[in-house]
């Protein structure tokens, strides 16, 4: 059986709360404990029905848990692992959902007690929303979860965690931590950095131009604002902990952007056309992989202001 007796979720943001929804809906554990930073947040978690136990005390939260998942920004993991170490149950699985894996292993592994199976994980799923209220059951449906187990991890434990994620609707792959970090630097971290940067540029425009940019944002820019609306703490930690892969992809990007910039300066239409034709092929490959996706249309703020479901993203 793949069910757990007690799952302890450290953090109840978008991912943590979505995991809780899945455990509830699919009966994947007998007890859900959420560990949060404040009593207010614990109250909110209980009010939302996300947990049976909500506590600010890490030792109470992880006690007797056979699955513990770190769902906080990756910068907090080292201290959390150190503090929970002596309270982890023998035979427990310790995992996480961080978007960086090599640094997470360096931070957490030294504190993992003998008898606990540490299996780093990363569900590639999310929205730009944060907090316990942002989670929903369908978040992991048809999404990848990458596990990066270290040598010596019991295959049985990996298998058990796989089945947990599959029960949440996800597809699971295992991968080397460094490979994961390079792939994610390209697919996620660099795009987020770029989106943050372009919105930052707009933010610094003189105020009349800035208000027109916001008014007429439905033309590419608003998709960047969506990405750049993501949780600041989480993203700060990602850039700090996947520094070398991010800087490496950024430097490749800068080179390619300089080539395009020069093509515009030189009015080299052929070069532009060729690049744009190549990039279109990548789009087709992404669509073929079934990962093309769509933004979450349920967002209440948008549904309220614009009941039109078929709102396209604005072309030019």
Tell me which residue of 193, 174, 187, 176 sits closest to 243, measured CA to CA.
Answer: 193
Q: How far is the CB of 91 from its own copies (least distance, A)?
A: 30
Cα 147 from Cα 65, distance rounded (Å): 20
Binding range to its own copies, per CB under 8 A, among 44-52, 58-66, 158-166, 178-186: 178-186
59 binds its own copies (CB under 8 A): no
Residues paired with 242 in a beta bridge: none
184 binds its own copies (CB under 8 A): yes
Strands 121-123 and 144-147, by their bridges, are antiparallel
Contact status, residue 32 vs residue 58, Cβ threshold 8 Å: no
Half-sphere CA count of 152, side-chain side, radius 13 A: 7
**By C-beta, is 90 or 278 nearer to its own copies?**
278
Of 85-104, binders to its own copies (CB under 8 A) are 99
Of 223-242, binders to its own copies (CB under 8 A) are 223-230, 232-240
Residues 6+ apart with CB under 8 A from 61: 8, 10, 33, 34, 35, 53, 55
**By C-beta, is 110 or 232 nearer to its own copies?**
232
End-to-end CA distance of the chain: 53
Q: How far is the CB of 140 from its own copies (least distance, A)?
A: 10
Instruction: Report the residue from 80, 143, 153, 165 that binds its own copies according to the rule CB under 8 A.
Output: 143
* Residue 63 backbone class (left: φ over 0; alpha: ψ -120 to 50; beta: rest): beta
Q: Is 152 helix (H, G, I), strand (E, B) or coil?
A: coil
**By C-beta, is 1 or 282 nearer to its own copies?**
282
Binding range to its own copies, per CB under 8 A, among 3-11, 19-27, 82-90, 139-147: 139-147
**By C-beta, is 58 or 271 nearer to its own copies?**
271
78 binds its own copies (CB under 8 A): no
194 binds its own copies (CB under 8 A): yes
Of 257-316, binders to its own copies (CB under 8 A) are 257, 260-261, 264-265, 267, 269, 272-273, 275-287, 289-299, 301-302, 305-306, 308-316
**By C-beta, is 117 or 127 nearer to its own copies?**
127
Cα 70 from Cα 89, distance rounded (Å): 15
């Amino acid at each position: 059986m793949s069910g757990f007796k007690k799952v302890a979720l450290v953090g109840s943001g978008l991912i943590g709360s979505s995991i809780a929804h899945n455990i509830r809906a699919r009966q994947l554990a007998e007890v859900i404990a959420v560990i949060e930073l404040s009593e207010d947040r614990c109250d909110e978690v209980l009010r939302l029905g996300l947990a049976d136990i909500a506590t600010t005390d890490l030792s109470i939260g992880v006690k007797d848990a056979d699955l513990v998942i770190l769902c906080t920004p990756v910068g907090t993991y080292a201290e959390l692992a150190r503090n929970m170490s002596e309270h982890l149950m023998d035979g427990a699985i310790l995992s996480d959902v961080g978007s960086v894996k090599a640094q997470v292993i360096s931070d957490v592994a030294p504190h993992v007690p003998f008898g606990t199976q540490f299996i780093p994980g990363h569900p590639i799923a999310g929205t730009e929303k944060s907090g316990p209220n942002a989670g929903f059951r369908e978040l992991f449906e048809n999404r990848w979860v990458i596990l990066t187990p270290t040598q010596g991890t019991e295959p049985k434990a990996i298998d058990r965690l796989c089945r947990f994620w599959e029960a949440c609707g996800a597809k699971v792959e295992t991968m080397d931590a460094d490979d994961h970090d390079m792939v994610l630097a390209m697919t996620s971290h660099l795009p987020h950095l770029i989106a943050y940067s372009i919105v930052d540029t707009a933010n610094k425009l003189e105020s009349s131009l800035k208000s027109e940019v916001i008014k007429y944002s439905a033309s590419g820019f608003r998709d960047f604002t969506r990405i750049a609306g993501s949780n600041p703490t989480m993203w700060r930690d990602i850039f700090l902990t996947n520094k070398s892969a991010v800087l490496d992809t950024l430097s490749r990007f800068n080179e390619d952007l300089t080539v395009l910039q020069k093509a515009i300066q030189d009015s080299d239409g052929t070069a532009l056309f060729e690049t744009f034709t190549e990039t279109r092929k990548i789009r087709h490959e992404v669509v073929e992989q079934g990962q093309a996706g769509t933004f979450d249309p349920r967002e209440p703020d948008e549904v309220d202001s614009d009941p039109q479901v078929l709102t396209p993203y604005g072309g030019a």
